[in-house]
A and B are shown apart, each in its own frame.
Chain A
């Protein structure tokens, strides 16, 4: 399968921890990358590889993976973390790419 599945919406109380998951067969052989998209803005890379944050991404955002599931964890969620989050990986052929459907994170 070349699909990545995400929960459409997740909510978290301010200051609490939230995990956003991404499931797909391709994740057994490829790392997921994660993107944060705020309204009317281009997506921003937040996690890639095993658990690498680009410069400027706060360390409360982390990534992990097990089997066919990749996870993005925000520890101590802040209001500015409210956004859509997308996972992405190469598919099993390694030639095509696929995005998850996205998860809308609401910080309460």
Chain B
């Protein structure tokens, strides 16, 4: 059974960089047809796709966040990470990592537990 475990600070100061890591167990991060994704949910709001990195290392980002986002893959550790720079209070949200599968369509079959990140001085 694949599991995604998130880690990272829960409090980030304005203008600094939000950094989260997702550790994958029970499966390889380099498996074909897999896209390692970050999604966030602002308080009381819906889900927002942040971006993904594919099993081969290619990335795609939400155009609204693209200038501030970097998603990286660490194959030796079976991890991937999110960096969001120049954060403001508007970036306060629950952040999820998830595995997207390209199969019968595209879908997120495994999710991390979520990490609440607050941007505040």
Contact = CB atoms under 8 A, between A and B. Distances in A.
B23 to A, nearest CB: 16
A19 interface: no
Given A96-B62, A99-B48, A102-B46, A48 B96 contact: no
Q: What bracket does the count of chain B residues touching chain A fall in?
A: 20 to 34
- The A contact surface, by secondary structure, is strand
B108 interface: yes
Interface in A1-59: 30-33, 35, 37, 42-45, 48-50, 52, 54
Contacts of A95: 60
Given A42-B112, A42-B114, A96-B60, A101 B46 contact: yes
B104 A49 contact: yes
Given A42-B114, A54-B109, A96 B49 contact: yes
Contacts of A88: 47, 49, 107-108
A73 B39 CA distance: 25
B49 A97 contact: yes
Interface residues of A, number: 28
Contacts, number: 68
Nearest to A100: B46
A102 B47 CA distance: 8
A45 B49 contact: no
B106 A97 contact: yes
B108 A45 contact: yes
B80 interface: no
B8 to A, nearest CB: 16
Interface of B: 37, 39, 46-49, 52, 60, 62-63, 96, 100, 103-109, 111-114
13 contacts: A31-B104, A33-B105, A33-B107, A37-B47, A43-B108, A45-B108, A48-B107, A48-B109, A49-B107, A84-B46, A96-B63, A100-B46, A101-B46
